[in-house]
């Protein structure tokens, strides 16, 4: 009986010791989450703070919260038109990247052609080239083709993505080749295998590419700044940049615009986060 009591005491002590590391990591993760969320909280608080009270210094407690900054935001510029421009450019860019990326990834994984590895290596090499290097050549091409200051000029550089091709290729390599062979025996050609066998099994990777493509297009600033001159073609990042004056800036209005800009991305990520995690897990990326 004393031995049984001693064993139970040792087990209880071990459980208590095991809880301490778990409690530490829980607190650390909670603190990290709070640090990550603080800028977004600060943005929302500033957007509902009256402009006159901002001069007294930063505060997390707003005495008289107001949505006047949002009204000023929509009065200062055609906000609905700007948001619509960003939406349709981001959606079109996402669809094009999914189509071109999935087709290219299927070709790299399922179709043997001369120089396949060399071509894929060139695609990977483009990931190391920043957009700043490509802006001038792209602008010259658009100008010579008389396409600058158009919706097509905004969309053209984001029709294909080397990162999307790489991610989808990694995911498609995990699809068993036996399924392709079985579909071939049933008389299926490449297009049917691509649409009915490979794509359904790579949906998490497709969702991951879609989220990254949408976010990249939605937040794009440098290329629209270079190629767009007409106010009616402005996207949301360009519109927010015009809110900062040369001498004074209404920061509550700027933060209201930031909230409008962040909300769609946050909603997309919340609904697609499980697909993003599954996409990276199936693609082998760490």
Residues 6+ apart with CB under 8 A from 214: 90, 91, 93, 94, 265, 268
Alpha-carbon span 88 to 32, nearest angstrom:
35
pLDDT of residue 182 exceeding 50, the answer is yes
Q: Average per-residue pLDDT in the chain?
A: 82
Q: Is the pTM of this model over 0.85?
A: no
Strands (E), the chain: none
Taking only the tens place, the pLDDT of each residue in 100-132 is 999 999 999 988 888 888 999 988 888 888 888
Alpha-carbon span 64 to 49, nearest angstrom:
7
What's the chain's length in residues?
Answer: 286
What does the pLDDT read at residue 93?
94
């Amino acid at each position: 009986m004393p031995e049984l009591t001693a064993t139970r005491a040792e087990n209880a002590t071990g459980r208590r010791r095991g809880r301490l590391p778990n409690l530490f990591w829980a607190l650390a993760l909670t603190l990290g989450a709070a640090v990550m969320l603080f800028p977004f909280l600060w943005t929302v608080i500033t957007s509902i703070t009256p402009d006159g009270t901002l001069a007294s210094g930063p505060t997390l407690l707003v005495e008289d919260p107001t949505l006047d900054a949002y009204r000023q935001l929509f009065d200062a510029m055609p906000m609905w038109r700007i948001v619509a421009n960003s939406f349709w450019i981001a959606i079109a860019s996402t669809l094009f990247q999914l189509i071109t990326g999935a087709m290219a990834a299927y070709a790299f994984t399922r179709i043997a052609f001369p120089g396949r590895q060399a071509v894929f290596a060139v695609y990977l090499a483009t990931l190391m080239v920043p957009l700043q290097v490509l802006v001038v050549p792209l602008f010259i091409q658009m100008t010579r083709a008389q396409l600058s200051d158009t919706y097509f000029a905004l969309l053209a550089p984001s029709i294909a993505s080397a990162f999307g091709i790489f991610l989808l290729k990694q995911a498609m390599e995990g699809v068993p080749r036996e399924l392709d062979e079985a579909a071939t025996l049933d008389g299926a050609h490449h297009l049917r295998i691509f649409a009915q066998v490979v794509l359904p099994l790579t949906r998490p990777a497709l969702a991951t590419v879609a989220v990254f493509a949408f976010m990249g297009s939605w937040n794009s600033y440098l290329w629209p700044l270079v190629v767009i001159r007409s106010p009616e073609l402005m996207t949301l990042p360009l519109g927010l940049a015009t809110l900062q004056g040369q001498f004074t800036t209404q920061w509550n209005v700027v933060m209201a615009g930031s909230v409008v800009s962040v909300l769609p991305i946050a909603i997309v990520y919340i609904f697609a986060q499980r697909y993003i995690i599954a996409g990276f897990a199936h693609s082998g990326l760490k």
